[in-house]
Amino acid sequence: MGAAITIDNLGKRYSADDGHSVQAVANLSFRCNPGDFLCILGPTGCGKTTLLRLLAGLAKPTEGRVLIDRQPLEGIHPKAGYVFQQSALFPWLRALGNVAFALRMQGMSREARNEQARGWLDRVGLAEFERAYPHELSGGMAQRVALACALIVKPSLLLLDEPFGALDERTRQTLQDVLLDLWRETRATIVFVTHNVEEAVYLGQRILVMAPPPQKSSEAILIDQPHPRDRLSEEFVASLLQVRKAFEKTLCREP
Amino acid sequence: MRLDQRQHRIATALAFCLGLALTSGLFGFSTAAIGVGELPVLRVGHVGHDHQIALGVAALKGQAFQADCGVWFQELKPREVYILHERETPLAELHLIKVQGGSAMPAAMERGELDIGLGGVPAVAFFVDRGNDFKILAPLNTDGDMLVMRKNFEAAHWQDFVRLVKQAEKPLIIGYKAPVAVAKLVFERGLMAEGIAFGAPQEQTDTKIRLTNLQGQKNMIPSLASGAVDGFVTNEPAASRAEVIGCGRVVCDLADLPPEGKWRNHPCCCVAARAEAITQHSNILVALLKAIVAATEQINNDKVQAAELASQWTKTPLEVESRSVPHIRYLATPSPEWRRGMTVWIEMMQEMDTFQERFADLEADKVMDRLCDFTLISRAQNELKAERESKEKDKPALE
Amino acid sequence: MKKKSLNGLHRLIAGLILPALLLGLWHFASSRSATVVPSLGEVWAVLAHPLRQPPNLDSPSLFACTAISLARVAVGYALAVFSAVPLGLAVGRSDAVRRIVMPLVEFGRPICPIAWMPLAIILFGFSSLGSTLWGDQAWRHDFLGQIQFAMVAIIWWGAFFPILLASVQGVEQTRTLYLEAALMLRATRRQLFRHVILPSALPSILTGLRVGLGLAWMVIIAAEIFPGTRSGLGYMITTSHQVAQYEYAFACILIIGVLGFGMNAALRALSLRVGRWQAKER
């Protein structure tokens, strides 16, 4: 069900107003199999959000290309879902309305889409909050709703941009497990961006450590442990160390 | 069932329009049609104060008025819509439209929204000077400009006033309503004739009188009441109103100012008409003028009744009108006195270079020729005379 | 429960302190200068008989004048809303429209509506809704005959700009985040407008509507000195000045204030209700 991703020499250059330009992403290539959980790890400013937007079709590459299911990506992929860093829930709609939004765009009738939306709210554990406005929800609850919003259309590719970054440790861990459950259920390909090493190791099957250009990003690190992973186990700690080393390397080489 | 926001707004808009329609329906009940669709409609502008009560007197007396001159007004809507009758024949539907004084009247005539205007001679003259095709058909009144001073100013007539002014230590502040108001111009020349120096407030310190522009009639009473001015010069009924309210006292009639007799019968209001109206509706205009002439005679014969009718017509307290009406000279025919008054005024305007175009540098009688058209008023006068003579002749036969 | 009702009472009292003070001041002033400042009693006599034609003022009743002024504002304001909101939305969405429209808007905005009165008179004269529908017989349908186009145009000018600018701003401040989120949720460009831009702009538009209504109400009072007017609160005030019967002017002023207060409160309540999702966005 998930999408296969191929990135070929991808590059993105932004030109600023005063003339000079910034190379956000350079010479990036990797592959992703259907149903993979890929984490992209990197410090702030290394271009991971840009990469995600390129994968979503929200931005166009200046060099190279993106292939989804071996088709070059033109604009927003119809089977992609996106969870933004800041809460992108529409503040004028209640939780139910937010979740049902994508179905409404597709023209589904009110009863049908509300019924499905309720189902998804229940899956993310927020059944009683369907009439709440986003400003009445806590950060964690809002991100859960966001997950429901993205997943209601059964995307084959789910892109998440540091969705749990603003949450406290406890909530973050809960939501990580929620995400893993949903991933198992839907078998979508997930690309998860984070700057938190532990989170990347807990979630990802493969971890791509990114560095700001002109540095080269590392190869994808494989984490071959089954989910759910035990944060205190030896293998976990070993993987953590491995990834952290790669992470530190990119940090040290900062100009 | 929760409506979409947009649908909600559309529903609100529709409800609003419906409400508006219903409300207007409530207020706009049609009065019974009187089958008058074929009568020509003439729009008559007027200012609604007692300089022009000739029209009001004729209108208020209704059918009884025809006993005097054969013409009478049938009321369709009080003070707004009348049918002009000559005996049994309806002649025209008159729409009376109240306009503020000054240039609003001739401006509306220029736009074609009024056929006839009862308004001030100066404004009409200025518009004709600029090239409009109006004619003054007849005067309505002259004089009626007064000097009003604050209550504690002990002057009963002009000489008193002059004496007190010359004795005063501080200059007196006198207000006027507009720079070209006749009242102000006459007052200034009276002061000059008496050798009293006057000027605008900011000028030299040896003036005895400071003249200040109060920007309109409505500011006069508050200015006097608050002490911002010591007095003002204006036309009736504003002068009497100030007296009745209790904030001032009428000192003298500006027509009495020196040089002796020069300012008597200075022009005030007149009946003016567009050239098209004169050519197309001359019969209607003649009938209207007959009514005005007859009404003016009645006013002059019985000033008490005139004041009552004026109070009714202009919705002004009787107290004010009883004082105001006697100060105004009503005349509807271009008598020699009126022509003389007009000549004085025209010469004053030429002195001040007010006429810039057609009337520039023209002698007074040439201006009068171009400005006035007395053929209709002559007809009206002749017809009235003939009617009255025939009534006289008929009388012995009836007895 | 008891505490809540006390708060309500406190608020009411606090709101009435200044008006009570002003009434006292007024009573004091009128007892000293009876000529110009009418007494409370005289003004109350006018207010207490809203349906009566004033015996010594050439004007229709207080009620009729109020109704006419409201009707004029309603027409002019409705025109402003239905022209400014769509135009504002169009300007917000399209750069081309903005470049064509906005220079003219910025030129016209500072021009006070009253300044246009001479031009309005030249353009429209005495014509009104009634005269357009019934020509010379408009006097039989008096209400619509008194909704003069010149006045409606002036009111439209006053209300148009704040509504337009608020609509433009409403569109412009739509966060790109929401637009992108909607795109990711399968919205088409057209759906973006209806489902993201419009709801996001709505609070701003409503604020503009409120400002516009306030301006329209202010403008009508000044605009009713047009020649050919014979009714309306502004007309009554002007006439009352001219004949120095100030109790009518004062009564009108009170009504203008009360109605303005009411209109503003109504729109504010609507704003709050429609924008109740905004609670924490500030």
Q: Which residues of A touch C180 (CB under 8 A)?
A: 58, 82, 84, 88
Give the nearest chain C residue to A133 (CA atoms): C277
Which residue matches tokens 């003054």?
Answer: B136
Residue A105 and residue C182: Cβ atoms within 8 Å? yes
Give the nearest chain C residue to A87 (CA atoms): C177
For C229, counting Cβ atoms within 10 Å of its Cβ (0-12 exposed, 13-18 middle, 19+ buried), the class is buried
Average pLDDT over residues B345-349: 89
pLDDT along chain A (255 residues), means of 10: 78 78 80 89 82 89 86 86 91 93 91 92 89 90 91 90 87 88 88 90 89 71 82 88 84 57
CA atoms B209, B213, B218, B222: torsion sign = negative
The answer to whether C182 contacts chain A (CB < 8 Å) is: yes
Facing residue for C74 by CB, picked from B20, B111, B241: B20
Q: A133 is written with which tokens?
A: 């406005």
In-domain check, residue A190: yes
Domain boundaries, chain B: 41-143+268-398, 145-256
- Say which DSSP state A134 is in: G
Q: Which residues of B touch C238 (CB under 8 A)?
A: 218
Average pLDDT in chain B: 85
Which residue matches tokens 């900011």?
Answer: B202
Q: Which chains touch A (3 or more CB pairs under 8 A)?
A: C
Q: What is the pTM of this model?
A: 0.81
Q: Which residues of A83-117 are buried (b: 16+ CB within 10 A; e: fewer)?
A: bbbebbbbbbbbbbbbbbbbbbbeebeeeebbebb
Rounded CA-CA distance B296/B49 in Å is: 15
Chain B nearest C-alpha distance from C223 (Å)? 14
In-domain check, residue A133: no
Give the 3-state secondary structure of residue A14.
Answer: strand
Residue C36 and residue B222: Cβ atoms within 8 Å? yes
Q: Which of B371, B342, B314 is nearest to B54 (CA)?
A: B314
In-domain check, residue A180: yes
Alpha-helix residue ranges (DSSP H) falling in chain C: 2-32, 40-48, 62-93, 95-108, 117-124, 129-134, 142-145, 149-172, 176-184, 189-192, 198-223, 233-242, 246-274
Q: Which chains touch C (3 or more CB pairs under 8 A)?
A: A, B
CA atoms C271, C272, C273, C277: torsion sign = positive
Rounded CA-CA distance B271/B273 in Å is: 7
Q: Do the beta carbons of residue B144 and residue B338 sit within 8 Å?
A: no
Rounded CA-CA distance C71/B16 in Å is: 11
Q: A151 is written with which tokens?
A: 């997943």
Residue A153 and residue C186: Cβ atoms within 8 Å? yes
Query: Measured at the alpha carbon of residue B145, what is the angle toward residues B142 and B148, in degrees to the nearest 5?
Result: 165
Best CATH choice for the domain B145-256 from the list 3.40.190.10, 3.40.470.10, 3.40.50.2300, 1.10.390.10: 3.40.190.10
The residues of A whose Cβ lies within 8 A of any Cβ of C are 56, 58, 76, 78, 80-82, 84, 86, 88, 90-93, 101-102, 104-106, 133-136, 149-150, 153
Q: B105 is written with which tokens?
A: 């009247």
Residue C186 and residue A106: Cβ atoms within 8 Å? yes
Q: Which residues of B touch C228 (CB under 8 A)?
A: 97-99, 108, 113
Reported as a single tens digit per residue, the pLDDT across B151-210 is 888 888 899 899 998 888 888 899 998 888 888 989 999 998 888 888 876 666 678 888
Q: CB-based contacts of A17: which residues, under 8 Å, 6+ apart? A: none
pLDDT of C182: 94
C-alpha torsion angle, residues A120, A124, A129, A131 (rounded to 10)? -30
Chain B nearest C-alpha distance from C104 (Å)? 28
pLDDT of B28: 40
Residue B263 pLDDT exceeds 90: no
Q: Which CATH number goes with the domain that contains A224?
A: 3.40.50.300
pLDDT of B31: 35
The answer to whether C195 contacts chain A (CB < 8 Å) is: yes
Q: Do the beta carbons of residue A2 and residue A36 sit within 8 Å?
A: yes
Q: Which of B214, B124, B121 is nearest to B176 (CA)?
A: B214
Chain C nearest C-alpha distance from A254 (Å)? 30
Rounded CA-CA distance A116/A120 in Å is: 6
Name the helix (H) or strand (E) containing A193: strand A189-194
Order of all β-strands in the sheet with A206-209: A80-83, A157-161, A189-194, A37-41, A206-209, A220-222
Chain A nearest C-alpha distance from C82 (Å)? 23
Q: Which residues of C touch B33 (CB under 8 A)?
A: 140
Name the helix (H) or strand (E) containing A147: helix A139-151
Residue-by-residue DSSP string for C166-221: HHHHHHHTS-HHHHHHHHHTT--HHHHIIIIIHHHHHHHHHHHHHHHHHHHHHHHH
Q: Do the beta carbons of residue B377 and residue B287 sit within 8 Å?
A: no
Structural domain total, chain A: 1
Rounded CA-CA distance B250/C218 in Å is: 37
Give the nearest chain B residue to C231 (CA atoms): B98
Q: Which residues of A touch C279 (CB under 8 A)?
A: 133, 135-136
Cα–chain center distance at A178: 14
Rounded CA-CA distance C171/C173 in Å is: 6
Bridge partners of residue B233, in order along the sequence:
B147
Task: Give ipTM to 2 decimals.
Answer: 0.87
The answer to whether C186 contacts chain A (CB < 8 Å) is: yes
| Confidence label for B49 from pLDDT (cuts 50, 70 and 90) | confident
Q: Do the beta carbons of residue B164 and residue B154 sit within 8 Å?
A: yes
CA atoms C141, C147, C150, C153: torsion sign = negative
In-domain check, residue A56: yes
Low-confidence stretches of chain C (pLDDT beneath 50)? 281-282
pLDDT of B35: 42
In-domain check, residue A146: no
Structural domain boundaries enclosing A27: 5-88+157-252
Give the nearest chain C residue to B237 (CA atoms): C243
| Confidence label for B3 from pLDDT (cuts 50, 70 and 90) | very low
- Say which DSSP state A58 is in: S
CA atoms A221, A225, A227, A233: torsion sign = negative
Facing residue for C125 by CB, picked from B95, B111, B315: B111
Give the 3-state secondary structure of residue A220.
Answer: strand
Which residue matches tokens 């002023």?
Answer: C253
Bridge partners of residue B213, in order along the sequence:
B176
For testing the chain C interface, which of A50, A60, A76, A90 should be mutated: the one with the most C CBs within 10 Å? A90
Rounded CA-CA distance A153/A108 in Å is: 12
Facing residue for A135 by CB, picked from C195, C199, C280: C280
Output the CATH code of domain C39-278.
1.10.3720.10
Reported as a single tens digit per residue, the pLDDT across C176-208 is 899 999 999 989 988 999 999 999 999 999 999
pLDDT of A63: 85
Q: Which residues of B touch C202 (CB under 8 A)?
A: 5
pLDDT of B272: 94
In-domain check, residue A167: yes
**CA distances (Å), B221 to each of B51, B123, C101, C253, in order?**
20, 24, 48, 19
Rounded CA-CA distance B266/A82 in Å is: 89
Residue B241 and residue C57: Cβ atoms within 8 Å? no
pLDDT of B396: 62
Q: Do the beta carbons of residue C220 and residue C72 sit within 8 Å?
A: yes
Instruction: Give the residue with greater pLDDT, B199 vs B273.
Output: B273
Give the nearest chain C residue to A131 (CA atoms): C277
Name the helix (H) or strand (E) containing A141: helix A139-151
Q: Which residues of C touch A92 (CB under 8 A)?
A: 199-200, 202, 277
Name the helix (H) or strand (E) containing A82: strand A80-83
Rounded CA-CA distance A243/A111 in Å is: 47
In-domain check, residue A128: no
Rounded CA-CA distance B378/B386 in Å is: 12
Output the CATH code of domain B41-143+268-398.
3.40.190.10
Residue B32 pLDDT exceeds 60: no
Chain C nearest C-alpha distance from B35 (Å)? 11
Q: C15 is written with which tokens?
A: 């709101």
pLDDT of C131: 83
Rounded CA-CA distance B175/B313 in Å is: 28
In-domain check, residue A195: yes
Reported as a single tens digit per residue, the pLDDT across B277-289 is 999 999 999 999 9
Residue C36 and residue B5: Cβ atoms within 8 Å? no
**Secondary structure of chain B as H, E, C letters:** CCCCHHHHHHHHHHHHHHHHHHHHHHHCCCCCCCCCCCCCEEEEEECCCHHHHHHHHHHHHHHHHHHHHCEEEEEEECCCEEEEEECCEEEEEEEEEECCCCCHHHHHHHCCCCCEEEEEHHHHHHHHHCCCCEEEEEECEEECEEEEEECCCCCCCHHHHHHHHHHCCCCEEEEECCCCCHHHHHHHHHHHHHCCCEECCCCCCCCCEEEEECCCHHHHHHHHHHCCCCEEEEECCHHHHHHHHCCEEEEEEHHHCCCCCCCCCCECEEEEEEHHHHHHCHHHHHHHHHHHHHHHHHHHHCHHHHHHHHHHHHCCCHHHHHHHHHHEEECCCCCHHHHHHHHHHHHHHHHCCCCCCCCCCCCHHHHHHHHECCHHHHHHHHHHHHHHHHHHHHHHHHC
Q: Do the beta carbons of residue A73 and residue A67 sit within 8 Å?
A: yes
